[in-house]
Amino acid sequence: MKKFLGFAVMLLLIVGGCKKSESYDFDKQLAKDEELIKKFIADNNIQAQRDTSGVYYVVSAPGAGSVKYSTSTSVTVKYKLRLLNGTEIPQTSEPISFTLGGVIPGWQIGITKIQPGGKVRLLIPSGYAYGPNATGNIPANSVLDFDIELLGVN
């Protein structure tokens, strides 16, 4: 069951990240998400950095190595996913592997902040996740809060 759940969540990450709405205003939504993230960071006393994309991150362990990431880089991770309201989105506790080109852009940006063995928290604006598309238990235009542990890179 855990493997199936993990597969289902990853499938949502892969497929959901590809859809875009015709009337979706990326910049307008990004500005809304930015305000939500800033409030969340302040309310929870989080010492996050902002990537130029608008993805916020906290590196709790940098890991070791000098991996040069690309969309074809295969990674093995463990992760937890929450919405900003604290709702946990169920996922497997087992490690999963995938290529960076097959997941949401927020992960493609965030994984590059660490090396193998590293841990990072990502606050991903909706446009770098699923945008206006509800996906499984994730409502449309949701900012995502991930804890990711990078177990390995191939």
Q: Of 77-81, 91-95, 110-114, 136-140, which range is least confident? A: 91-95
pLDDT at 4: 43
- Comparing CA positions, the residue from 51, 61, 47 lying closest to residue 150 is 61
> Which residues lie across from 58 on neighbouring strands?
121
What is the extent of the structural domain holding 89?
2-153
Give the chain's domain count.
1
pLDDT at 22: 57
pTM: 0.85
CATH number of the domain that residue 142 is part of: 3.10.50.40
SS3 for 42-65 is HHCCCCCEECCCCCEEEEEECCCC
| pLDDT tens sequence across 10-42 | 444 444 444 444 588 999 999 999 999 999 999
- Comparing CA positions, the residue from 86, 67, 75, 61 lying closest to residue 13 is 75
